């Protein structure tokens, strides 16, 4: 039976930047390329990537045919969590360069037609941020209530049962204030108190600082962590009905709780509306990260609905585990649409926080190349915007990092069951025969995996049949076909192993079908019409009347 995702007239059927709202809605259907700055290109020779290095490589990024770059944190930080522990919201850490380097990067990106999105880590700061230094100095200073402080229980134990994502209690005792402070992540990452209007006002001022420097948008880290329950009530245990959804991760105590009080609070929408008002002043956008395994898609919809909060969100439903079957993909997309019929999603299969899908989805099988092309086809044709992670276009796999070389605190804490995030953060490979793959002349902060060298950019550029050229062709195909950018979407009846849907914008309609199975699949389009196969997307499926035949791990795109 057909499942219709969008029945309303769809006004977003123009090419990027060519709709009734002008360039302000470039993000709707846009493709954003994520850059992890310490691993992209080292220009200073210290083994760590930097802003000048990114600027040097922007022509390559533009050649892919993407709309924007997202730069992970580069602000001053003690680097306990590699930039996600910010000590100054208005600067550039010296290892990455200067504010002048950032301005040059923005200017070059804009010259090349690329928008610039930067990470904003607002839920918490470093314990070295001046705000926290003042807050912990006593209970009567101007910023005493800027962080989440609480008295111990009568027996001296923490105020409640909340747990840290990085292990153990999420409360840390401070002997100066003789109170506990909340940290959802490392003890060196104290949580800001969003219930305090002065905190929200200060954060918005810091966001404005970057808007004034010309950024086009923000990726908001841990959006659903902004508010906590003001009554500090205990989290309940995860209900039996929900346990199966996180069973694979229940080797960590954090996943035994239903996190209804330490995150996912309804008050988050208060700040999102305040932020949206500021963004609208500049015509800027924000995409929120929703770090929630159970209700992630529903929270995405909540935060992106109504036109008064975030422009779009992403969750982790496609960022963990093996390649999902077609039924699961349909379910995730359908859940979002039911939650936010007027909202917009941003989808990704890999990023800096999870193992690369080249390894997660292929398992090192002989079908790896076909599976990677299949994954790209699905990601770039489903309804929503897209984030591509650096090296995804090369098919880089998850690196196997020895324990003694791990630097990620998450990996150190949970080894060996969880190896952390270093395997997805190794340096970009530019030249197969150059030292360290052309990333740096010095020893990199993480070693370049030898198996990545054969997938270096120069090798891929020289091979017309490479995955890199496939991505370029598919991105160009997407941009040339308005239904794939902002068109409506509805699923059509298909065999269990086939994901099939129609994208429609105005009078143009495309049928897209992808075979996730290991044998050839046949799709009967009875009632839909006879599609005309289109060229230029790289898939080998073929149509005979209303019958489509799709090889294993392949696809078909045709015009109705």
Active centre residues (catalytic): 221, 281
- CA atoms within 13 Å, Cβ hemisphere of 471: 30
The answer to whether 502 and 489 are in contact (CB under 8 A) is yes
Burial class (CB in 10 A: 0-12, 13-18, 19+), 154: exposed
Angle 384-424-122 from CA coordinates, rounded to 5°: 65
Are the CB atoms for 537 and 473 separated by under 8 Å? yes
- Helices and strands per DSSP (H, E), number in the chain: 14, 20
Element spanning 501, H or E: strand 498-505
**Contact residues for 298 (Cβ-Cβ < 8 A; gap 6+):** 335, 339
CA–CA separation, 120 vs 125, rounded Å? 11
**Residues 6 or more apart from 251 whose CB is under 8 A from it?**
414, 417, 418
Sign of the torsion angle spanned by Cα atoms 247, 346, 539, 504: positive
What the block records as the tokens of 193 is: 């108190």
Question: How many CB atoms sit inside 10 A of residue 250's CB?
Answer: 12
Distance from C-alpha of 226 to C-alpha of 221, rounded to nearest angstrom? 10
Whole-angstrom Cα Rg for the chain: 23
Sheet of strand 171-174, all strands in order from the earlier edge strand to the far edge:
149-150, 179-182, 171-174
Tokens coding 404: 């003694």
Structure tokens at 275: 């932020």
Q: Report how far residue 531's alpha carbon sits from residue 69's, in angstroms, rounded to the nearest whole number.
A: 35
- 86 CB-side CA count, 13 A: 21
Residues 90-115 as b or e (16 or more Cβ within 10 Å = b): ebbbebbbeeebbeebbebbeeeebb
Integer Cα distance of 445 and 436 in angstroms:
11
DSSP assignment of 311-357: SEEE-STTSSSSPPPHHHHHHHHHHHHHH-TT--BEE-S--TTS--H
């Amino acid at each position: 039976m057909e499942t219709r995702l969008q029945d309303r007239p769809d006004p977003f059927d123009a090419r990027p930047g060519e709709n009734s709202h002008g360039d302000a809605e470039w993000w709707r259907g846009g493709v954003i390329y994520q850059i992890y700055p310490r691993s992209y290109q080292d220009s200073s020779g210290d083994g760590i990537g930097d802003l000048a290095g990114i600027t040097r490589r922007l022509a390559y990024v533009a050649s892919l045919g993407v709309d924007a770059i997202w730069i992970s944190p580069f602000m001053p930080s003690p680097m306990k969590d590699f930039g996600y522990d910010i000590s100054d919201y208005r600067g550039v850490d010296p290892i990455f360069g200067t504010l002048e380097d950032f301005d040059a990067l923005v200017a070059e990106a804009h010259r090349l037609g690329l928008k610039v999105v930067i990470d904003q880590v607002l839920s918490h700061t470093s314990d070295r941020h001046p705000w926290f230094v003042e807050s912990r100095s006593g209970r009567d200073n101007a910023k005493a209530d800027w962080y989440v402080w609480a008295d111990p229980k009568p027996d001296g134990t923490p105020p409640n049962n909340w747990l840290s994502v990085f292990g153990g209690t999420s409360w840390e005792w401070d002997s100066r204030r003789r109170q506990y402070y909340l940290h959802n992540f490392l003890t060196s990452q104290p949580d800001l108190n969003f219930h305090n209007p002065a905190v929200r006002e200060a954060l918005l001022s810091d966001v404005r600082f970057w808007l004034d420097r010309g950024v086009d948008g923000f990726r908001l880290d841990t959006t659903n962590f902004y508010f906590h329950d003001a009554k500090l009530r205990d989290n309940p245990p995860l209900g039996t009905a929900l346990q199966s959804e996180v069973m694979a991760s229940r080797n960590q105590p954090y996943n035994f709780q239903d996190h209804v009080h330490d995150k996912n609070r309804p008050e988050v929408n208060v700040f999102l509306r305040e932020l949206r008002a500021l963004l609208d002043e500049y015509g800027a956008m924000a995409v929120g990260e929703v770090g929630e395994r159970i209700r992630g898609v529903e929270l995405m919809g909540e935060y992106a609905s109504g036109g008064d909060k975030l422009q779009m969100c992403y969750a982790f439903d496609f960022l963990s585990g093996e390649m999902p079957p077609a039924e699961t993909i349909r379910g995730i997309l359908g859940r979002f649409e039911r939650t936010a019929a007027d909202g917009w999603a941003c989808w990704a299969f890999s990023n800096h926080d999870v193992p690369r899908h080249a390894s997660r989805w292929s398992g090192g099988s002989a079908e790896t190349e076909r599976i990677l092309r299949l994954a790209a086809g699905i990601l770039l044709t489903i309804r929503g915007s897209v984030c591509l992670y650096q090296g995804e276009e090369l098919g880089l796999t998850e690196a196997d990092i020895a324990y003694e070389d791990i630097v990620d605190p998450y990996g150190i804490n949970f080894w060996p069951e969880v190896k952390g995030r270093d395997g997805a953060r190794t340096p970009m490979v530019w030249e197969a025969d150059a030292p360290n793959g052309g990333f740096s002349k010095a020893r990199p902060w993480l070693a370049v995996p030898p198996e990545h060298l054969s997938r270096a950019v120069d090798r891929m550029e020289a091979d017309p049949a490479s995955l890199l050229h496939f991505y370029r062709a598919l991105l160009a195909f997407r941009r040339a076909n308005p239904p794939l950018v902002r068109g409506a979407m509805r699923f059509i009846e298909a065999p269990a192993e086939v994901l099939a849907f129609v994208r429609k914008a105005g009078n143009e309609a495309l049928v897209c079908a992808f075979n996730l199975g290991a044998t050839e699949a046949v799709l009967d389009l009875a009632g839909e019409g006879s599609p005309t196969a289109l060229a230029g997307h790289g898939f080998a499926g073929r149509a005979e009347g209303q019958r489509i035949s799709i090889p294993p791990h392949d696809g078909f795109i045709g015009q109705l």
